[in-house]
Amino acid sequence: MRSLIVGLGRAGAGLHLPVLAKLRTRTPQLFDDAPVTACEPRPNVAARAGLEVVPTIEAAAAGLDPSRTVAHVCTPPTERLTVLSELATLGFRKVIVEKPLAADIDDLARIIRLRRKYKLHIEVVEPWLASTLTARLVELIRSGRFGAPKSIGIVQNKPRFRRSLVTPGHPTAFDVELPHGVALALRLAGAARVTHASGTDLEVDGNVGPRMGGATVGLRHNSGIHTEIRSDLTSPVRERRVTVDFETGTAVGHFAVSGDDHHSQLTLRSSGRSEHVVLRDDAMTEWMSVAYRKFLVDKEQTQGFTFATEVVQLLSVAKNICAEPVSRPEPDAVAAHAD
């Protein structure tokens, strides 16, 4: 199959391209020998081996067979619907969409109708669901080793100043890291409703990024488990941590914070004893490999798309809860970082 990447920003150039390069070497039977095509309207994009850049989706379509091409939508959430509409009208049916699937429930409803009208096969990027760490946690919960899980805490922190102030594609901090956290919570504990939510602005040297400082979402699952998901985009350190408290123990997992080192870590504590393991965990590569195999056999697991819609719905509820007024950190907690 051929690959078309729409958008060479952080996701397209920094995540999808390197993973595709790895997969094209590892599993060449999944791919055509032709270069990857990328649609990027910005001029002077740096040349890369095995990459052909064109300015528009229409120009890309002229040189591709849509029935044999997987289109990667790597544009910001606010542009998802427009890009998907253009791809669909040009004949593309196999689509990978960066998370979240939509910026709000109105766009989500339009995407659902678009998918139905054009019979699109859409896979939404959720590498944590393909993570070795997530699989271990699911296994631990099912085994009952430490009794029933009582609560889950998910922390997703990183410094994100320049992109938040310069790039308007993500409307709020809820759209940056929290889609991963909400999806993980649903995988571990099942369906849920939002119990509370809050958000903060990002402030640096007099510049303000409304609703881009951080976000918190509380969930109550139908299983009775409570989940708290927090993301601080003014943090001086990167951290992706999940804590599951059980009746007789605790599991603390750390996902890889970048593509530099594909390992996660898991610590189990119970009855005064601690067990630590490092896991090989190239989650994004594994996720994309599975997605391409589904496209190859033209088999969509509809529960994956339904799952992605549930994530958007929960985040939309959370954003509505704290939409007005925009909450701000207390004066002593306002980020004082320099760009």
End position of a domain, from candidates 79, 105, 124: 124
Q: Is the residue at 142 inside a domain?
A: yes
Same domain (yes/no): 137, 48: no
What's the CATH code of the domain at 216? 3.30.360.10
**Looking at residue 327, what is its pLDDT?**
42
Residue 293, domain member (yes or no): no
In a domain, 301, yes or no: no
Provide the percentage of residues in the chain whose pLDDT is more than 70.
Answer: 94
Overall number of domains in the chain? 2
Q: Are 154 and 253 within one domain?
A: yes
Q: What pLDDT score does 5 carry? A: 97
Do 29 and 134 fall into the same domain?
Answer: no
| 289 within some domain | no
Question: Are 157 and 8 contained in the same domain?
Answer: no
Same domain as 101, residue 192: no
Give the confidence band of 168 by pLDDT, cuts at 50, 70, 90: low
Q: Are 150 and 46 in a shared domain?
A: no
User: 10: pLDDT confidence band, cut at 50, 70 and 90?
Assistant: confident
196-252: pLDDT as tens digits: 999 999 888 888 888 889 999 999 999 999 999 999 999 999 999 999 999 999 999
74 and 182 belong to one structural domain: no
In this structure, are 173 and 320 located in the same domain?
A: yes
Identify whether 266 is part of a domain: yes
In this structure, the answer to whether residues 162 and 49 fall within a common structural domain is: no
Classify residue 306: in a domain, yes or no.
Answer: no
**Does 64 share its domain with 199?**
no
Calculate mean pLDDT across residues 269-287. 96
Average pLDDT for 148-162:
93
* Domain finish residue from 99, 124, 149: 124
Domain of 33, in residue numbers = 2-124
pTM over 0.85: yes
Residue 309 lies in a domain: no
Residues 82 and 225 in one domain: no
Please indicate, yes or no, if residue 41 is contained in any of the structural domains. Answer: yes
Answer whether residue 99 shows pLDDT above 60: yes
Amino acid residing at 284: M
* Whether 86 and 231 share a structural domain: no
Q: Select from 102, 124, 146 the last residue of a domain.
A: 124
